[in-house]
Structure 1
């Protein structure tokens, strides 16, 4: 399969980093209960070019009218949700014109009336509100709010926060684990859930939030859903496990009394992504088994009765894919699922042969697109699906899938997938400087290994393109969706071919493909990467003499492993990478997960730092100080050992071909626009010097010229 994405003109937004970071970015999708309104969020560059601000846009579900902007403020708006009556709820920290100071610092809940008019604040909390849910058939809304542990209510929470602020105290007292997550410290506050009836909030007044859950860390990073009648909140609920570990269960909470009952508590699995059926009888959820050094996770769809009767069950246990989300059909006859598959992320339809929870089910692929579909929303009459579609050919764009036509095309299991139809988007897809194709090969053990390959226009046997091998993170993941942080088209615009492979441990190829690399990161994942690189280098339009390898997170681990095991590449770029696994394991933000994954013997055998003397390739190390998933100590130790112990050490005068790009204020990702520019400029300069043999200082500069 080849997707020709040639631009009409040579100039594209990827030729200039300022044009690139200014591109609008879609995220999230909300569908009104009557199916007539579809809303998404668009991020755009702020006037100073130093951050992004979001706004809500309405998209025509019929695809006849252009998208129109609904909100506008310097603080931005997000988390759009429709109420049963058609009002649009969203969160924003923008000033409230009905308050005296007009200087709200924390996100409040706003309501934009369906009948038109100005948005108004309907709920606030001292620590801000989030996690907005609205019942489909009732006027009930639930939000989450972070509250200090000793506060009995929101008023007391506000007083405590003011006292801490005035005393300049930011210390956090912990009695459990974890204490950090990705890029932020946990505590001292923790989320609690609240509910209220929107119709009870008079004009100019704020909702009296009814507390449903108390203090504790059970709702950190929780997933939740409201029953259609608004009477029950279904949410994940974290519980402690031995060894300072945590595991998620599933509970139901009465939205009036706050009474809680457990729906799913499996000591061998974690759960997430609950979805309550339209008839209010069932909860579908994603269940993932707890891993061990010998057993990777098994991810399946679960089903449990909302009233707590009967035992939870696993649906479609013989379907060799990992569901990532689930949404019910309006008549409760089945569910729409998403899952990675063969470098894509299609929509699937699971139908019950009878009543849910009884009898067999059928799973079949609905969409034919070479893309990933997310944020799937089902039309109220079941005729269509709405989603955001993304791939390496285009960033996220709203689409419509004709589900009725698919269902009418034949019997379950015999139907052909259908293509999604693009709806008028607030952000048109940018022209690309090349085209996308696929490559594949067979590994030594007979396994099929495939990849996307982004090629510049004009690459040919007469003018082959230098090759960049990009290794994805995870490691449980796939190069199947557009990435603003690792975007190959910026490299393609400068003449590179970019290889995006899915080696062992990648999702979308079945359980056995993951198991091939489990607990042995340096084995099949590495040999798969080398095999697909060999196959790509055999192409006439690729220059096998000018190559580099890059990766971040697990991809950075693998870049380090590659550096210590081969000298075939001219340069290595390793971002937020694991280096010494003995040090990484106990210091990462969720060390208990790592303890489940590898034995000490596996860890030692597959730690890249043991092979530092084999590194004879120039390496660019990149790390953010606020990275809690892969702590900065990994980057610091890697940098020092490269200069002191590698096969390409620093000279006696301290000079070195290696480089360290350090971000004191960034985390696992480099998110701010100007830092993203620095990241790409630094990487391009390093590659230009070593892959293209451009004299140092004559390629892309490490800093924008306006900054020094």
Structure 2
């Protein structure tokens, strides 16, 4: 049987479900679906509606060349989304704005025209007041002044940024010159008449054109749009979660507070009418995040975590309190799983929580009365975008695992799962997935998933690829479009996806086994479970390779310097030399807080470059600020210093992307990634068969 995983063209043409939002009345779910553009160089996103009871067929809601994302419902059932689609007055190429699609039908209409665009929105359950995330230039006192200053910079092609605080970069983009800002606005101020405003180019000409006066007035914000009110601005306006009270009067947000070069996240309450701010929870060397509010607005829940130190990891504690932070109590104190999402059940009696657990990502119920945590789902899936269904004990979610991409489902209180209609049906595969485990030298259970190609047996054993996850606080439990073992299985490889020490979902002690010692238990765990898997009669132990990205790339580098058991090693966006990495990554304080100086030296892979005997494929993107390109360049230089032949040739390869970041996002660049990886594996594994 031919499947989409046999062809990279077919694979990248598969539609992808990115997100889900459940309507206030629980009748339908809106899905964000990404599809390949006609020129096959990117993805465009559209919104689709499906019934929430498992019946019916998908119905497309939006169409635009720029796409839509960030869909949320208002209290009245209208749909808000973020899009860079042009309206009648905005200039081409304007930043993404907030749009509203009426529940009663009709065309979508713009809600904002901010020069900084809109990046996120949070709504209230009983109010038309919303809060949006955007940005402002530091010298701009108003949104009009911000637009004019940005137009001046664009006209004069000024790109310089001056900093007086740390950091200056984040993941894949520069910070500044604009800074985060939170705005409140009232949707009932959205006028029926279309707004009229000069185009951006006209505004620029008025400011700096040949006939413009230096004191040209700020262009007025469109009168037909609700005027955003500035609630919070500056670096402290970045958030680690927001929630609005049902009446929309108060925003609870997790915002950073400077702590030297570092920052801690505190919980604050902001009056959305006046901008008045009061602190709800704040402790030195502690982060508070992921706030969620009960449907009646009386209870607040959040995650509290001490800052990690080289001595060990900190737990992610689940807490509940009154809205003002009073009567705080820890929930589920004997449960050491880390929440990845939190919602109140429809009756506010419990929390609906997702967390990594034993190689899955189940849904849990956490009673607010102090009762024991119970696990709702017990299948081999990970759940995201969980939302309670109004008037029921059911929830809507997306679920996935390594065999099945994200798809919408409805989950009953007893864990029964009903698949919903989907505009992106799950693709067929001939591969299979089994669970494997072993016991480490210290007695710890180490488990993982093994994806097997069709026909692998004792008569035709499959070559093995060891895939090492990133993080390192992570688990191989959910679908990834970037790393798909089904593509490898379609080419005859078995793929081992293990969770070694430092992985989440096995408790704090399991994480602590690898703390400040990445090259110790994480490495031996990987070797132990590889030993167990290659002992199977459907695995060819004479043909094996190791691969990983980010922390997985670090481990691939460590493996290369500590064993020659593999025939090939692929290292993507990898940490190589801790002596340079800690000061060049986008946020050095974290990395310097989790390693002791001695641990950083002892666990740096670059010290073992002379011991490498295995051909390596090094992959790095120049716009990767989390693991800067210097790591890949130094690795490549060190490999050639120690292992290049007299004629300059080398068994190693370097795949370099000048315009990609930590992830390879362009479909065609990602295709080259897979083609290069599979060619490298073919050269070094199958040649030995």
TM tier relative to shorter chain: over 0.9
- Counterpart position of 2:17: 26
Moved over 6 A (4+): none
Once the two structures are TM-superposed, the CA of residue 104 in structure 1 deviates from its matched residue by 5.2
* 1:361 maps onto 2:350 in alignment: no
Q: SS in structure 2 opposite 1:394?
A: coil
* 1:387 maps onto 2:408 in alignment: no
Q: 1:457-481, CA deviations, whole angstroms, 9 ceiling, x for partnerless residues?
A: 1000000000000000000000000
2: CA distance, partners of 1:383 / 1:514: 34
- Counterpart position of 1:298: 315
For normalisation by structure 2, the TM-score amounts to 0.94
* 1:90 maps onto 2:87 in alignment: no
- Counterpart position of 2:334: 318
Once the two structures are TM-superposed, the CA of residue 320 in structure 1 deviates from its matched residue by 2.0
Q: 1:93-117, CA deviations, whole angstroms, 9 ceiling, x for partnerless residues?
A: 1111x32x66252111111111111
* 1:333 maps onto 2:349 in alignment: yes
Distance 1:208-1:199 versus aligned 2 partners, 3 A rule: closer
1: CA distance, partners of 2:133 / 2:233: 12
Q: 1:126-164, CA deviations, whole angstroms, 9 ceiling, x for partnerless residues?
A: 111121111111111211111111101110000000110
Q: SS in structure 2 opposite 1:162?
A: helix
Q: 1:12 aligns with which of 3, 6, 10?
A: 3
Tell whether the 8 Å contact from 2:184 to 2:231 is kept in structure 1 after alignment.
Answer: no
Tell whether the 8 Å contact from 2:117 to 2:134 is kept in structure 1 after alignment.
Answer: yes
1: CA distance, partners of 2:593 / 2:41: 40
- Map of 1:575-654 to 2, 5 A cutoff? 575-645=572-642, 649-654=643-648
2: CA distance, partners of 1:102 / 1:60: 36
Once the two structures are TM-superposed, the CA of residue 351 in structure 1 deviates from its matched residue by 1.1
* 1:423 maps onto 2:424 in alignment: no
- Counterpart position of 2:678: 684
Q: CA RMSD in A?
A: 1.3
Distance 1:686-1:104 versus aligned 2 partners, 3 A rule: closer
Q: SS in structure 2 opposite 1:527?
A: helix
Q: SS in structure 2 opposite 1:123?
A: coil
Q: 1:484-535, CA deviations, whole angstroms, 9 ceiling, x for partnerless residues?
A: 1111111110000000000000000111100100110000000000000000
Q: SS in structure 1 opposite 2:636?
A: helix
- Counterpart position of 2:410: 400
Once the two structures are TM-superposed, the CA of residue 211 in structure 1 deviates from its matched residue by 2.4
* 1:255 maps onto 2:272 in alignment: yes
Tell whether the 8 Å contact from 1:505 to 1:514 is kept in structure 2 after alignment.
Answer: yes
Tell whether the 8 Å contact from 2:183 to 2:232 is kept in structure 1 after alignment.
Answer: no
Once the two structures are TM-superposed, the CA of residue 221 in structure 1 deviates from its matched residue by 4.8
Distance 1:140-1:352 versus aligned 2 partners, 3 A rule: same
- Counterpart position of 2:245: 227
Q: 1:475 aligns with which of 462, 472, 477?
A: 472
2: CA distance, partners of 1:210 / 1:567: 61
Q: 1:125 aligns with which of 99, 103, 114?
A: 114
* 1:113 maps onto 2:96 in alignment: no
2: CA distance, partners of 1:624 / 1:209: 40
- Counterpart position of 1:62: 53
Tell whether the 8 Å contact from 1:26 to 1:43 is kept in structure 2 after alignment.
Answer: yes
- Map of 1:649-664 to 2, 5 A cutoff? 649-664=643-658
- Map of 1:172-191 to 2, 5 A cutoff? 172-191=161-180
- Map of 1:452-463 to 2, 5 A cutoff? 452-463=449-460
Q: SS in structure 1 opposite 2:155?
A: helix
* 1:342 maps onto 2:331 in alignment: no
Q: How many pairs align? A: 660
Unaligned runs of 5+ in 1: 1-9, 354-359, 407-417, 696-708
- Counterpart position of 1:150: 139
- Counterpart position of 1:432: 429
- Counterpart position of 2:282: 265
1: CA distance, partners of 2:124 / 2:178: 27
Tell whether the 8 Å contact from 1:182 to 1:589 is kept in structure 2 after alignment.
Answer: yes
Q: 1:497 aligns with which of 494, 498, 516?
A: 494
- Comparing 590-599 with 282-291, greater Cα deviation is found at 282-291
Q: 1:415-434, CA deviations, whole angstroms, 9 ceiling, x for partnerless residues?
A: xxx23221111100011131
Tell whether the 8 Å contact from 2:447 to 2:529 is kept in structure 1 after alignment.
Answer: yes
2: CA distance, partners of 1:103 / 1:558: 45
Tell whether the 8 Å contact from 2:312 to 2:512 is kept in structure 1 after alignment.
Answer: yes
Tell whether the 8 Å contact from 1:212 to 1:253 is kept in structure 2 after alignment.
Answer: no
- Counterpart position of 1:557: 554
Unaligned runs of 5+ in 2: 196-223
2: CA distance, partners of 1:541 / 1:614: 31
Q: SS in structure 2 opposite 1:362?
A: coil
